[in-house]
């Protein structure tokens, strides 16, 4: 049985993100990325035209 990931906000279910794989883009606008240590999350508003940020990984890098 494969692990599932559930969006904290809208409760949609996705396959669990693996390190190095593309992030999950939830319908509610949140992105989830597995950096190998933890699941990182960032909000990117979904408005038309639907788009992917230029540097998706940068959304999940910790800021100091």
**pLDDT for residue 19 is more than 80:** yes
- Span 19-44, average pLDDT: 89
Give the C-alpha distances (Å, rounded to integers) separating 47 from 28, 29, 37: 11, 9, 30
Place of tokens 């890098």: 61
What pTM was computed for the model? Answer: 0.65
pLDDT cut 90: percent of the chain above it = 30
Structure tokens, 32: 């989830």
CA–CA separation, 25 and 27 (whole Å)? 7
pLDDT at 20: 85
pLDDT at 51: 62
- Residue 12: pLDDT band (50, 70, 90) is very high
Of residues 27, 28, 23, the one with CA closest to residue 53: 23
pLDDT at 7: 92
């Amino acid at each position: 049985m494969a692990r599932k990931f559930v969006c904290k906000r809208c409760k949609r279910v996705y396959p669990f993100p693996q390190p190095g794989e593309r992030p999950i883009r939830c319908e509610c606008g949140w992105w989830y990325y597995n950096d190998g240590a933890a699941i990182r999350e960032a909000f990117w508003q979904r408005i038309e035209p639907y788009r992917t940020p230029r540097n998706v990984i940068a959304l999940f890098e910790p800021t100091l």
